[in-house]
Each structure stands twice: as C-alpha cells, then as structure tokens.
Amino acid sequence: MFECPLSYNERLTLYGLVRYPLLNDRELSQKLGLKMTTLTSIKNRLKAGDFFQTIRYPTLMVLDMELLVVKYGRFDPSADHEKCKQMMEEHENWAHSSIFSLIEGPNFLSLSLHKNYTQTKKEMYHFETAMHSAGLGEMSEIDYFILPLTDGNIRLLFDYGILMERTLDLPLDELPKDEGDSVDYVGTTETISLKSAESKVLFGLVQDPDIPDSSVAKRIGLTRQAVSRMKRKFEVGGLMGTSRVPDIKKLGYEILVFTHYYHEPTMDAKAIHESLQVLIDNMCTIYVSSNATESCFIGVAKDFSHYQLMKNAIHSSTLELEGGGKEPNTMLFSIPSMEFVRTFNFLDFLGGA
C-alpha cells in the first residue's frame, strides 16, 4: 500500500518546488497559497531530509551532441551482482557519456549522449565485450534505442511535475493551472559557442546548483553581478535548465517502468504524437522520447496494482505503437532495490571548464 510520509503542506510545498524550480520563496508561497515563512521552513526541512535535489543542465545547443542512446538489458541472473555493478561503473568511467544509469537485480538501464554514430558503435562494442568476457551475460540480452537529435523528439526529460501532481493526493482543481517551468532540452539544432567566461560560469552553475551566485563568482574570479547576468542569459536563451528531482524511493514509490515501443510503419508524426500523449496523460511519466519508428518511455508507479491500472488505461489507445512486427520491450525496476551508477551527470560534457 502506497503511503507518502509527508503532511499535506509538505506535499504541497514539494509539488511547488518540483513544478516551479525557478521561483523564489516569495513567488512560490504566493502561487501555492502558503505563508512564506511556512514554505521556507518546510523547504529547508525537505532539503535537509534529502527529499529532493536541485539539478542544472546545459541544453544540447551548448553540448554539440547528435545522438541520445538508451541502453537496457539484463545480466546473467546467476552472475555476481557486485561484479555487474562494477563493470557498469568501469564502463561509465571509460566512456564519460552517461547522463543517467542504474542497476536493479540483473536489469540495467542507461541514457547517454554521443557526438556521432562512430562513438555509439565504439561504446556498444566496449560494453558488450566487457560483459561477455567477464562472464556476466550475452550480447543478445542488450538492446538499444538510438535517437538522432536533429529529427527526434524529447517530450519529457526527467520532469517530475506530472508525477507530483497525480500521486501526492493534492486537490488538483486548486493547484495552479499553468505548465510550470520547463526548458526545451533539445532546443534548436544550432550549436551555440560560449566565451571562456561564459563556459566557466555555466560549469559552476551546473556543478553546484544550490550555492548562491556570489559563491560561484568567488570560485571562478568574477563579480556576482556578472554571474547573475550570465545565468539569466542562459535561462532566458534556453541554454540551461533547472529542475528539482524528488527522491522517489524516500517518498514510497515502488516501481520504475521502462518501455521501448516500435511504431506501425504507417504511423505519421501526428499519430505518434497523439499516442504518446495518451501515455503522458495516463501514466506517471518522467521521460518520453521518439523518432519516426520507435519510442521510449520511463514512468513511476506507486505499486504493482497502480502499474496495472495505468497499463490497462493506455493499452487500447497505444496499440498502434506496438507495431513493426515486434512487441514492446518492458522492464520493471524495483525502486527500493535500485542502485544508481550515474545520476543526472552533465559535467563530463562541459569539459571541466
């Protein structure tokens, strides 16, 4: 049975922090109808209890990447778990391309950014060879979803606003009706070149999203005003996003759902968009990406019964996604048992500016 350990005001505050990460305490308290002193106190308590973390991420206009690669599969269930985890860690340290990766039992999942297909093939070979040579599994147990960012689509990138809204037992009719703070992670396909000082500020902001601008300025030898001005430029120009990520394990969620769909060859872009919208509308979705032939989805469920209800709600509306002669691949990860190898890592792509 799902039980959130937070009081109503704590749930409301957490919802607001996640949905509106760019608002200050005064602005957020007004939006949520709480006293600012109450909101600030609760925010500090939630932060001290590690109920959420703040992340900043550069968008692809800055990173100059062409492909997002989802890798998933399973190790041999009889293989030593610690050896499997160590192999993943060693691969991630070698590749320096993973944004997010996890392991739970024999199952694994990762998202990486690559400059080109040459890098993708090189990393595939490295991972598959390491897995096979260590006796941890076979290459046939690994699958990939490769998204060219120039003509692919990332609908959600670890956006927990929907999850907070639908599972924290809040009065939806009383919540703010706007869409919250979000950044188009892909943005334009044009690559933006930053000046040396801008690169240093961006690195500092991504590295330590919780520290004030004055601390970033002191670390890199600039004025606070210069840092604040560049930060505003990054945010307004869509070069940097800010998110607050709740600890779904601490909040009592039990299942992370990953599904890789194969589209019917006859589906056009509009039909794909509409089918994916059904997923977003009915599942507690945190990540969705797609191209002309495939889609990937990551969502969260309170427990297995909740997962079954969501699955039944979308089944008849998404049958067209389950095409191409292949059934969708679905993996369920037990959130209490999940171990993260990488969590929202973007510094590797900024080159230690």
**With contact defined as beta carbons under 8 Å apart, do 150 and 189 qualify?**
yes
Burial class (CB in 10 A: 0-12, 13-18, 19+), 104: buried
pLDDT by residue for the chain (353 residues), tens only, comes to: 456 789 999 999 999 999 999 899 999 999 999 999 999 999 999 999 999 999 998 887 677 788 999 999 999 999 999 999 999 999 999 999 999 999 999 999 999 999 999 999 999 999 999 999 999 998 889 999 999 988 778 877 788 888 888 778 888 676 666 665 555 555 545 667 788 899 999 999 999 998 999 999 999 999 999 999 999 998 888 888 888 999 999 888 999 999 998 887 777 888 888 878 877 877 788 888 888 888 998 999 989 998 888 877 666 555 555 555 577 899 999 999 999 999 888 888 886 55
- Strand partners of residue 92: none
Q: What residue type is assigned to position 118 of the chain?
A: T
CATH fold for domain 66-148: Alpha-Beta Plaits (3.30.70)
Return the sign of the alpha-carbon dihedral for residues 330, 335, 338, 344.
positive
Q: Break the chain into its structural domains and give their ranges.
A: 66-148
Q: Which H or E run includes 243?
A: strand 240-246
Residue 1's pLDDT is what? 41
Residue 59's pLDDT is what? 80
Q: Which H or E run includes 173?
A: none
Q: What residue type is assigned to position 334 of the chain?
A: S
- Dist. CA 103–CA 74, nearest whole Å: 9
Residue 333's pLDDT is what? 97
- Dist. CA 308–CA 82, nearest whole Å: 31
Residue from 48, 68, 43, 174 nearest 120 by CA:
68
